[in-house]
Structure 1
Amino acid sequence: MSRIDVLRVDARTIRVGDVVPVGGRRRAVVDMAARTRGKLLTLEDGRTFLLAEGRFLKARRTAP
């Protein structure tokens, strides 16, 4: 059985599979690419979101 943790993440600590609030909805991160000033996240619905350095989000992460 796994548990769900709520964490404060930034461009350095976010992981594929984390669920983040973007545009008023929670969306899972399916891919990431490093950018000069953060990470470009690809979300489960195909949208992209730039998580800039110094910006934090509350993410849900499933832990084994």
Structure 2
Amino acid sequence: MQSDPIKQSKAIIKLIQEVKNLKLELPSQRAQAAAMVEILHVIERSTNDIQQVFDTIAKSATELCS
């Protein structure tokens, strides 16, 4: 069974486009992960101060949405 060069080329082009798309998404994903880490640290430190947790969530959401 021989491979179809046209199908192979199309598959390679599709993979290259997917890599480009993932590279574009990476900064956003990193920012989301960093925000989540920050929120989890505040939750860990602020066992009795729920307002600080809410403030951090609001700050992170504002930064991520701007």
| Higher strand fraction (1 or 2) | 1
| Higher helix fraction (1 or 2) | 2
Bigger relative contact order (CA 8 A; separation at least 6): 1
Could you tell me the TM-score, scaled by structure 2's length? 0.20
- Structure having the higher Rg: 2
